[in-house]
Structure 1
Amino acid sequence: MSVLVIAEHDAGSIKSATFNSVSAALLINADVHVLVAGLTCGTAAEQAAKINGVTKVLLADAEIFQHSLAENLAPLVTGLASSYDHIVFNATAQGKNVAPRVSALLDVAQISDITKVISADTFERPIYAGNAIATVQATDSKIVITVRSTAFDAVSNGPQSAPIVLVDAVVDSGLSSFIDANTISSDRPELISAKVIVSGGRALGSSESYQRVLTPLAEKLGAAMGASRAAVDSGYAPNDAQVGQTGKIVAPDLYIAVGISGAIQHLAGMKDSKVIVAINNDPDAPIFNVADYGIVGDLYELVPELAAAL
Structure 2
Amino acid sequence: MSVLVYIEHAEGSVKKTSLEAVSYAKAMSEKLSSGDVIAVALGLISSEELAKAGTAGASKVIHVIDSKLNDGIIQAHAEAVAQVYKKINATTLVLAKSSLGDAVASRLAIKLGSGLISNVVELPDTTSGYKVKRSIYTGKAFAVTQVNTDHKILAVKKNAVDLRTDGPLAMVEEVNLDISAENFATSITSTDKATGEILLPEADIVVSGGRGMKGPENWGMIEALAKELGAATGCSKPVSDIGWRPHHEHVGQTGVKVAPTLYIAVGISGAIQHLAGVNSSKCIVVINKDPEAPFFKAADYGIVGDAFDILPKLTEAVKAQK
Aligned length: 306
Instruction: Map Cα deviations across residues 92-149 of structure 1 (whole Å, 9 max, x no partner).
Output: 2221222122223334442111111133632111112222110111112221221112
Say if 1:308 and 1:55 are closer, same or farther in 2 by CA, change over 3 A. closer
State the alpha-carbon separation in 1 of the partners of residues 286 and 237 from structure 2: 17
* Conservation of the 8 A alpha-carbon contact between 1:5 and 1:25: yes
> Is residue 222 of structure 1 aligned with residue 227 of structure 2?
no
Say if 1:10 and 1:222 are closer, same or farther in 2 by CA, change over 3 A. closer
Partner of 1:25: 25
> Is residue 161 of structure 1 aligned with residue 167 of structure 2?
no
Say if 1:116 and 1:222 are closer, same or farther in 2 by CA, change over 3 A. same
> Is residue 93 of structure 1 aligned with residue 99 of structure 2?
yes
> Is residue 283 of structure 1 aligned with residue 291 of structure 2?
yes
State the alpha-carbon separation in 2 of the partners of residues 153 and 45 from structure 1: 19
Say if 1:77 and 1:13 are closer, same or farther in 2 by CA, change over 3 A. same
State the alpha-carbon separation in 1 of the partners of residues 125 and 173 from structure 2: 28
Say if 1:67 and 1:43 are closer, same or farther in 2 by CA, change over 3 A. farther
Structure 2 residue ranges without an equivalent (≥5): 31-35
Task: Give 1:132's aligned amino acid.
Answer: A
State the alpha-carbon separation in 2 of the partners of residues 32 and 117 from structure 1: 15
> Is residue 177 of structure 1 aligned with residue 187 of structure 2?
yes
Say if 1:104 and 1:203 are closer, same or farther in 2 by CA, change over 3 A. farther
State the alpha-carbon separation in 2 of the partners of residues 150 and 7 from structure 1: 16
Report deviation, 1:288: 0.2
1:263-274 matches, cutoff 5 A:
263-274=271-282
State the alpha-carbon separation in 2 of the partners of residues 22 and 309 from structure 1: 36
State the alpha-carbon separation in 1 of the partners of residues 235 and 282 from structure 2: 18
1:49-198 matches, cutoff 5 A:
50-82=54-86, 83-119=89-125, 121-156=130-165, 158-172=167-181, 173-187=183-197, 189-192=198-201, 194-198=203-207
* Conservation of the 8 A alpha-carbon contact between 1:249 and 1:268: no
Say if 1:153 and 1:204 are closer, same or farther in 2 by CA, change over 3 A. same
Report the 3-state secondary structure (helix = DSSP H, G, I; strand = E; otherwise coil) of the residue aligned with 1:256: strand
Instruction: Map Cα deviations across residues 137-195 of structure 1 (whole Å, 9 max, x no partner).
Output: 111222122111211111226434335251414123243112222224434x4545544
Report the 3-state secondary structure (helix = DSSP H, G, I; strand = E; otherwise coil) of the residue aligned with 1:34: strand
Instruction: Map Cα deviations across residues 28-76 of structure 1 (whole Å, 9 max, x no partner).
Output: 224111011013544443333x334212211111122011111210111
* Conservation of the 8 A alpha-carbon contact between 1:114 and 1:125: yes
Partner of 1:35: 40
Say if 1:96 and 1:230 are closer, same or farther in 2 by CA, change over 3 A. farther
Say if 1:58 and 1:221 are closer, same or farther in 2 by CA, change over 3 A. closer
Structure 1 residue ranges without an equivalent (≥5): none
* Conservation of the 8 A alpha-carbon contact between 1:62 and 1:169: no
TM-score, normalising length: structure 2: 0.83
Report deviation, 1:2: 1.2
Say if 1:176 and 1:65 are closer, same or farther in 2 by CA, change over 3 A. same
Aligned Cα root-mean-square deviation (Å): 2.7
State the alpha-carbon separation in 1 of the partners of residues 196 and 282 from structure 2: 25
State the alpha-carbon separation in 2 of the partners of residues 81 and 156 from structure 1: 25
State the alpha-carbon separation in 1 of the partners of residues 190 and 266 from structure 2: 33
Report the 3-state secondary structure (helix = DSSP H, G, I; strand = E; otherwise coil) of the residue aligned with 1:75: helix
Task: Give 1:36's aligned amino acid.
Answer: A
